[in-house]
Each structure stands twice: as C-alpha cells, then as structure tokens.
C-alpha cells in the first residue's frame, strides 16, 4: 500500500492478548511498544470506564481515531496495540492499514469469557450475560478485523510465548524489520 509505514499493529477482541503480546514482542524485536487505550487514559487523565461513563462511547471512538492519526505522524517505528473496537470505524481501518503490518489476534468467545469474567474495567462487558454479549460483538466485528489484517493468528490454544514466536517468524518471512 502506498505510504504504508513500518509499524507493527496488534488488533483483536478484548482479552485476545494484544497488550501482553505487544510487551513481549517489544522485548523480542527490540522495538518500543505503545497501547492506544493507555495513551487515551494518560491524555484524558481518566480510565476508559470513566470516559465511557462521562463522555460516552462515540467520544471514546473519536479519541481512538485521534491516537491513530498521531501515530501516523511519528517517525520512529513501533509496535502499537489498539483497543478491541478500534477497527469498527471504516476510517480507523484505513488508518490501521496505513500505519503498518496489521496482526489480528483471533480468539473465540469462550476463551475471552474465561479470561475476562472477573474483570470490571471493560464497560462494554458489564452486562448480565457477558458471554452472549461477547458472541454478539465478535460476530459483528469479525469482518472488520479480517478486513484490515495482514496476518491472522488463532490464539486460543497457544501460550503467549508461542504467539510471539509465530508473529516474529511471520514478520521475518514478510521482511518486516
């Protein structure tokens, strides 16, 4: 793609392991890692849950787009993990593709549920029936994730260490340094 940058972008549903994989990959590849959720929290001096509660989801989505726009301007190439809902906006999918090689950590609903069932930091999953909500959101987002992915990794059966190795190998095959 014209003007595509050399960043490594991690996308995937909540609980797919983006943040953990990002940190491990940064050690493995000796690259700086950033997480757009953390960038937003730092900028707003509020947690994601507070932003959802006070400003609402659309406002949060606009902040996600802003973070991607800022990342595109940076000269230093890095690893960037983004929030699970970032690819739902068409504009964000275009930005993600321009930013670099997009790696989709694909995960099944039951795995997500097991990983996040005691977590209260994700506003979209604070419902009576989180598993149903996960299934519904995954189904809605599936196409968006697949549409912007250069590499897809099915993470359910893999320890994080193997996910990182697999990504490093696939990036090497593609000549991403």
Half-sphere exposure of 117 (CA within 13 A, CB side): 8
Distance in angstroms between the alpha carbons of the first and the last residue of the chain:
17
Beta strands 7-12 and 33-35, pairing class: unpaired
> Where does this chain bind ligand S3P (CB under 6 A)?
14, 18, 37, 48, 83-85, 122-124
What is the smallest separation between the CB atom of 173 and ligand S3P, expressed in angstroms? 27
What is the smallest separation between the CB atom of 96 and ligand S3P, expressed in angstroms? 14
Q: Pick the closer one to ligand S3P by CB: 13 or 172.
A: 13
Q: Pick the closer one to ligand S3P by CB: 86 or 101.
A: 86
Which residue matches tokens 């983004």? 82
Q: Pick the closer one to ligand S3P by CB: 124 or 158.
A: 124
Task: Report phi then psi at 76, rounded to 5.
Answer: -80, 125
Written as six digits, the tokens of 160 are 């994080």
What is the smallest separation between the CB atom of 63 and ligand S3P, expressed in angstroms? 10
What is the smallest separation between the CB atom of 62 and ligand S3P, expressed in angstroms? 13
């Amino acid at each position: 793609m014209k003007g595509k940058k050399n960043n490594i972008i991690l996308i995937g549903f909540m609980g797919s392991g983006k943040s953990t994989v990002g940190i491990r990959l940064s050690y493995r590849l000796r690259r700086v890692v950033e997480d757009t959720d953390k960038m937003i929290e730092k900028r707003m001096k509020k947690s994601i849950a507070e932003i959802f509660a006070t400003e609402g989801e659309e406002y949060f989505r606009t902040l996600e787009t802003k973070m991607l726009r800022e990342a595109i301007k940076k000269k230093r190439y890095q690893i960037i993990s983004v929030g699970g809902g970032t690819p739902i906006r068409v504009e964000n999918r275009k930005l993600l593709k321009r930013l670099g090689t997009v790696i989709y950590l694909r995960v099944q609903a039951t795995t997500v549920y097991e990983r996040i069932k005691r977590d209260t930091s994700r506003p979209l999953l604070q419902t009576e029936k989180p598993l149903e909500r996960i299934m519904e959101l995954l189904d809605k987002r599936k196409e968006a994730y697949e549409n912007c992915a250069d590499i897809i990794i099915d993470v359910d059966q893999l320890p994080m260490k193997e996910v990182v190795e697999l990504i490093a190998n696939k990036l090497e095959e593609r000549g991403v340094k």
